[in-house]
Structure 1
Amino acid sequence: MTLLHTSPVHVPVFDALRDRHHAGTALRHLVVPELLARARAAGPGAVAGEIESLLAGPGSGDGAVLCTCSTIGAVAERLGPVLGRPVLRVDRPMAAAAVRTGPRIAVLATVESTLAPTLALLREEAGALERERPGCAAAPTPWTRVVPGAWERFEAGDDAGFLALVAAAVDAVVDADVIVLAQVSMAGAAARSTTGVPVLSSPAVGLAAAVGALRRA
């Protein structure tokens, strides 16, 4: 399986999850930070061609692909039929769980470019839930917040400071049924928070979905 990352810090996270839950699964990591930088500057669609070339190239391996960047996840996912291989976005299982938890969804992110793709994904999953169980779930009413100063801490390599800011933002959420941590890098903040509201993150459930797709392929 190939994992497409926009930060090298995600590699040990997914390797550890593999070792803990999916022993024996071979992971190939493609780390291309420039994709996120260009997507933030020009929009996710601007990097579609580059993603296609990367995933079609000899260095991308074969089998399922998991894109771990929420900003470009939708773009990568749409390339699956073109590439002839499953391409999954890491945050889809998290979004599916969120809309099943309740309609009041707090979406926290550390970069603005993540918000629109995450909200679109929540709408998609809400539509899927409505088709599955018509009239059984209220329409989602998500609200969003970018955690001030967190991304700067992340870029500076201050992981503890980054997670502390995210955890504080989590604990500040009120009147929500569920809190979504929109980026893989934020997952560690869940264990640092003290909120009683369910907090969802994407790495573990996203990797599990990709391993399932790999086995079905």
Structure 2
Amino acid sequence: MSDSARKTVRLFHTAPALVAVFDALAAELAPWAVLRHTVREDLLKCAIDLGQATPEVIEAAASAIAEQTHDDIDAVVCTCSTIGAAADLANATSNLPVFRIDRAMARESLMLGERILVLATLRTTIEPTVSLLKSEAGAMGRAPTIESMVLDEARALFLSGDTDRYLQAVADGINAAALDADVVVLAQASMAAALPLVKAVNAPILTSPRIGFAWVTRELSGLAA
């Protein structure tokens, strides 16, 4: 892609650690992309405190995302699955594309099997991810079996910021839970870093950062064509 076709993408995070994750993905997959980052930890904290991403949280997140659609931005990507519905809400009224990072992962999981297992470390992430899977399944005329599990031990480590033990707990949870699934979906982008610690399992394990960012870059390349 020529310099004249470079795209500036605003990444909207609720976890600071994802800044480095997506910088690395951009360097590998889309060196033509210029990334800008916004981190709003308060939105995820609010959802956790309330026990779910309430309509009020989604509306607040959608407004915050909409504020990122400036003239110098070509697209916005929401990297948080808990507030993923806010990306859809913002996209409906924006003059720029607003992407939900986990949508491509949901679509790919439906192509890989009929028994989908959703794993998360935060209970607030389960419902939005399952809802997205059901929506995409309906659009594809599919009726998969979707089960979900919260990795409670990993959740406590995630909230305490103990990254190394968090990732090991995620890996242990994947190893224990993946036996009866055709495909495993990791609902939170932060869980992707645990994959190198996972033992060999038969089911494919999908994570949103790489799959989602690759999808976004393809869409943006198409816009530039």
Given the two structures, how large is their TM-score scaled by the length of structure 1? 0.90
Which residue is equivalent to 1:29? 37
| C-alpha contact 2:118 2:149 (8 A) present in aligned 1 | yes
Amino acid at match of 1:178: V
Tell me which moved more, 187-196 or 44-53: 44-53
Which residue is equivalent to 1:50? 60
1:176 aligns with 2:176: no
Tell me which moved more, 61-70 or 9-18: 61-70
1:28-107 map, 5 Å:
28-40=36-48, 41=50, 43-57=53-67, 61-107=72-118
| C-alpha contact 2:66 2:90 (8 A) present in aligned 1 | no
Gaps of 5+ in 1: 131-136
Structure with larger RCO (C-alpha < 8 A, sep 6+): 1
Gaps of 5+ in 2: 1-8
1:187 aligns with 2:192: yes
Per-residue displacement from partner, 1:66-94 (whole Å, max 9, x unpaired)?
10110001122221121222111111111
Tell me which moved more, 114-123 or 57-66: 57-66
Amino acid at match of 2:210: A
Q: Percent of counterpart pairs with the same letter?
A: 40
TM-fit CA distance, 1:164: 0.7
| C-alpha contact 1:108 1:144 (8 A) present in aligned 2 | yes
The 3 A distance-change label for structure 1 pair 25 and 98 is same
1:149 to 140, 153, 158: 153
TM-fit CA distance, 1:59: 8.1
Structure in which a larger fraction of residues adopt strand:
2
1:19 aligns with 2:27: yes
1:3-14 map, 5 Å:
3-14=11-22
The 3 A distance-change label for structure 1 pair 128 and 49 is closer
Per-residue displacement from partner, 1:161-193 (whole Å, max 9, x unpaired)?
111111111111221101110000000222211
RMSD: 1.8
